[in-house]
């Protein structure tokens, strides 16, 4: 995903001289193509994410479109006050990009586990929150963020994420993408869980369960209409995310469902437990710990519809 992001951003910067890229001393072997082509619009702020965010806001207030970039929690949680008071308060045209969302850097321990970011950024006023599902969506999310006239957050995977979309889908901030149609259950994923979600749908299909798959690449504003349609037209909804169970996709979908008493439906969320992890491990290891997704789907289909 990070490769798709920098390719799209470099292309956009070639057409729009307002676009800048700032990094917190990270992104080596990724950001060079932008830095070499646009050295006057690239800045390495060093390991000083608070300063990076303040600089980005200043540039944005002078008419620039500024992207900041770093790993997982560093461009978000480390400089949260600056994002809130500088970027959001002024509705500055700053796009925050975090690479390695979820457990992509799982082996480096809890400091590098990006599993609370969606909840935290979703709580900030004026902030658009996106987590594209594959490199195709990462490209489209970058272009959409550049065109959006205000703060955006883009959560990317690390590298090597598989392509799910065989052709670029229609992409709009706040509108989910229907990846697969189905009438039994709706699987809603965000971020790098899209490939696993499609794989789960394949597994269920072999057992005769027709699962619809929605890629909820935007958590804020969320596509309430798509959620309501899923509640009306299928027998259950399951969300899948590489994020803590608190405040992410599952919470966002639950908020929509709670406001729709006419669209009651069995609902489950598959996510990381609300706990500090004192061990390191691979991304696959931590994903497996989130539970048996197929078993959860089958259990929800056995429930009577409310």
3-state secondary structure string across the chain? CHHHHHHHHHHHHHHCCCEEEEECCCCCCCCHHHHHHCHHHEEECCCCHHHHHHHHHHHHHCCCEEEEEEECCCCCCCCHHHHHHHHHCCCCCEEEEEECCECCCHHHCHHHCECCHHHHHHCCCCCEEECCCCHHHHHHHHHHHHHCCCCEEEECCCCCCCCCCCCCCCCECCECEEEECCCCEEEEECHHHHHHHHHHHHHHHHCCCCEEEEECCEEECCCHHHHHHHHHHCCCEEEEEEEECCCCHHHHHHHHHHCCHHHCCCEEEEEECCCCCCCCCCHHHHHHCCCCHHHHHHHHHCCCCC
- Calpha distance 92→264 (Å, rounded): 39
- Alpha carbon separation from 223 to 132, 208, 219, 230, 262 (Å, rounded): 14, 28, 8, 11, 17
Cβ contact 58:45 at 8 Å: no
Where do the CATH 3.40.50.970 domains begin and end in the chain? 2-155
- Calpha distance 122→248 (Å, rounded): 8
Pick left, alpha or beta for residue 17 (phi over 0 → left; psi -120 to 50 → alpha; otherwise beta): alpha
Provide mean pLDDT across the span 254-265.
88
| CATH code at 177-301 | 3.40.50.920
Q: Which tens digits make up the pLDDT trace of 92-107? A: 999 999 999 999 999 9
Reading the block at residue 220, the tokens are 């804020």
- Calpha distance 21→145 (Å, rounded): 13
Per-residue pLDDT at 161: 87
Provide mean pLDDT across the span 279-286.
91
pLDDT reading at 304 higher than 80: no
Per-residue pLDDT at 306: 63
Q: How far is CA 178 from its chain centroid?
A: 16
Per-residue pLDDT at 29: 87
Intra-chain end-to-end CA distance of the chain, in Å: 40
Residues in Cβ contact with 89 at an 8 Å cutoff, skipping those fewer than 6 apart: none
pLDDT reading at 262 higher than 80: no
When pLDDT is cut at 50, 70 and 90, the band that residue 36 belongs to is very high
Residues in Cβ contact with 276 at an 8 Å cutoff, skipping those fewer than 6 apart: 110
Per-residue pLDDT at 263: 72
Range with the lowest mean pLDDT among 9-18, 131-140, 156-165, 239-248? 156-165
When pLDDT is cut at 50, 70 and 90, the band that residue 142 belongs to is very high
Per-residue pLDDT at 298: 84
Exposure of 132 in the CB half-sphere (CA atoms within 13 A): 35
Q: What percent of the chain has pLDDT over 70?
A: 99
- Calpha distance 237→117 (Å, rounded): 23
Cβ contact 134:164 at 8 Å: yes
pLDDT reading at 305 higher than 70: no
**Which fold, 2-155?**
Rossmann fold (3.40.50)
Cβ contact 286:108 at 8 Å: no
Where do the CATH 3.40.50.920 domains begin and end in the chain? 177-301
Instruction: Count the neighbouring beta carbons within 10 Å of the beta carbon of residue 180.
Output: 17
What are phi and psi for residue 262, nearest 5 degrees? -80, -10
Provide mean pLDDT across the span 12-27.
96
Instruction: Count the neighbouring beta carbons within 10 Å of the beta carbon of residue 283.
Output: 18
Of residues 139 and 105, which shows the higher confidence score? Answer: 139
């Amino acid at each position: 995903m990070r490769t798709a992001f920098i390719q799209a951003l470099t292309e956009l910067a070639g057409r729009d001289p307002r676009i800048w890229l700032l990094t917190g001393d990270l992104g080596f072997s990724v950001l060079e193509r932008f830095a070499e082509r646009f050295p006057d619009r690239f800045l390495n702020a060093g390991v000083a994410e608070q300063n990076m965010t303040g600089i980005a806001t200043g540039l944005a207030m002078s008419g620039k479109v500024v992207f900041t970039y770093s790993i997982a929690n560093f461009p978000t949680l480390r400089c949260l006050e600056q994002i809130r008071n500088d970027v959001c308060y002024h509705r500055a045209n700053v796009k925050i990009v975090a690479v390695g969302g979820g457990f992509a850097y799982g082996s480096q321990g809890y400091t590098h586990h990006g599993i609370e970011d969606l909840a935290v950024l979703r709580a900030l006023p004026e902030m658009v929150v996106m987590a594209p599902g594959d490199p195709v969506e990462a490209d489209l999310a970058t272009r959409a963020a550049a065109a959006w006239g205000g703060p955006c957050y883009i959560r990317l995977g690390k590298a090597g994420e598989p392509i799910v979309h065989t052709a670029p889908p229609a992409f709009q901030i706040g509108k989910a993408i229907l990846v697969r149609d189905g009438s039994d259950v709706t699987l809603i994923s965000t971020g790098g869980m899209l490939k696993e979600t499609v794989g789960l749908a394949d597994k269920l299909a072999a057992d005769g369960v027709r699962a619809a798959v929605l890629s909820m690449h935007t958590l804020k504003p969320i596509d309430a209409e798509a959620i309501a349609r899923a509640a009306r037209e299928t027998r259950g909804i399951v969300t899948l995310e590489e994020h803590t169970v608190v405040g992410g996709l599952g919470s966002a979908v639950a908020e929509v469902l709670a406001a729709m008493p006419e669209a009651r439906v069995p609902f489950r969320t598959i996510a990381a437990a609300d706990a500090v992890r004192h061990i390191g491990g691979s991304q696959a290891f931590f994903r497996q710990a989130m539970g048996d997704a197929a078993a959860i789907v089958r259990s929800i289909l056995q429930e009577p519809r409310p």
